[in-house]
Amino acid sequence: MDSALQDPHNGSAEAGSPANGTTRPPSTPEGIALAYGSLLLMALLPIFFGALRSVRCTRGKNSSDMPETITSRDAARFPIIASCTLLGLYLFFKIFSQEYINLLLSMYFFVLGILALSHTISPFMNKVFPANFPSRQYQLLFTQGSGENKEGGRGSPAPGSGLTRPLCPEIINYEFDTKDLVCLGLSSIVGVWYLLRKHWIANNLFGLAFSLNGVELLHLNNVSTGCILLGGLFIYDVFWVFGTNVMVTVARSFEAPIKLVFPQDLLEKGLEADNFAMLGLGDIVIPGIFIALLLRFDISLKKNTHTYFYTSFAAYIFGLGLTIFIMHIFKHAQPALLYLVPACIGFPVLVALAKGEVTEMFSYESSAEILPHTPRLTHFPTVSGSPASLAASMQQKLAGPRRRRPQNPSAIYEESNPKDPAVVTESKEGTEASASKGLEKKEK
């Protein structure tokens, strides 16, 4: 019997026995093929649609939907943070009761799952609602501070007074409307279903929502950052799967919608099947945000082609298919990123080498699309001359005469309206002389 188990953060596939150790009849080849094919299809859906929505996300104006940009520093620290979190969960499961830990995690992911699923189905539901559906705008705002220090609160200066008040940092600023509330209600039904039954369909709905939101809202700022992130998690995945049993233990003990599951005995038992093949969300989101970055790079080239997106998408299918095949053949834990990372990075780079666009690929900055009006320094000014000549010219400019601007408004008025009688008389005589010359020209 084969089951693909994934860790809570990144994910690694394993073929092994069920967590409770009970003996089950071997799955049929048809059931195994259906389970693995369904997992592959479910992994492709959030990557494809999440990448498309990431492009619209960069063009959106709603602050609540702004993406979170991952920098090279974040990418370098992520494997370390993930390792500490994984080891911490392992120790928690060893020290405390697994039942209480999973209860807390279930409540936590219950809230997150409702919000994620509501955000996922909101664009689809907007097309379903009639045009005359009443829609009211709402805003959920949490700021830090109280009393006079609260933004917009008591003690704020009157408009036009010229006074300023301290700005309070916003903790939560979420804008929604009546349609979003309807989506939230529908998502709550799925949440209650998952909380009470832990059904695999409800688990997959939350898992797909988490994956799609991750691909949409987590943006890599450039290809180099993506290589750093994927390379670091490549080492992380291989170490924790082949080097220790920590990842497998946590994956078996962790009851939360952080993996996609599909029963291998669905044909025999129907919806009540319990022999699952599993795929961790990390094996979807991590390569997915890199594929979404390549889609935005395709659009920035303005060639009306999505070469790099389709190449990386096909590379992901190849890498995940290879993972499932090796796991099925060897019946042993397989770190999925061991096959996904070389495929998702190698295939697009080879295409860039063939097209001569490697420089454009690695110089592309996705953050410039998120903030299109931010000034960017694209080149440095050229300075000619020796340091001695530049210093001498600067000293000449500093030592030269400086015109002093009058600071007193009355002085400016006096300069423009002189009160010296001699100056006034000279100006009058000049005016009379010019007038007499004009009369003489007219007589001639």
For residue 75, the SS3 value is helix
Q: What angle do CA 181, 186, 190 make, to 5 degrees?
A: 135
For residue 176, the SS3 value is strand
Helix or strand holding residue 339 (H, E):
helix 337-355
CA dihedral 13, 15, 19, 21 (to 10 degrees): -170
Query: Is 237 an active-site residue?
Result: yes
Cβ atoms of 240 and 337 within 8 Å: the answer is no
- Specify burial of residue 188 (Cβ count, 10 A radius: 0-12, 13-18, 19+): middle
For residue 335, the SS3 value is coil
Q: What is the length of the chain?
A: 444
Residue 427: how many other CB atoms lie within 10 Å:
10
In Å, the largest CA–CA distance within the chain is: 127
Backbone phi and psi for residue 262, each to the nearest 5 degrees, phi listed first: -150, 130
- Specify burial of residue 70 (Cβ count, 10 A radius: 0-12, 13-18, 19+): buried
User: Which position among 7, 180, 265, 283 bears the catalytic label?
Assistant: 283
For residue 38, the SS3 value is helix
Query: Is 420 an active-site residue?
Result: no
User: Which position among 2, 237, 265, 298 bears the catalytic label?
Assistant: 237
Q: Which two tokens stand for residue 369?
A: 């699309």
For residue 242, the SS3 value is helix
Measured distance CA(269)–CA(254) in Å, rounded = 25
Rg (C-alpha) for the chain, rounded Å, is 33
Cβ atoms of 238 and 338 within 8 Å: the answer is yes
Measured distance CA(185)–CA(182) in Å, rounded = 5
Backbone phi and psi for residue 219, each to the nearest 5 degrees, phi listed first: -115, 130
Residues acting as catalytic residues: 237, 283
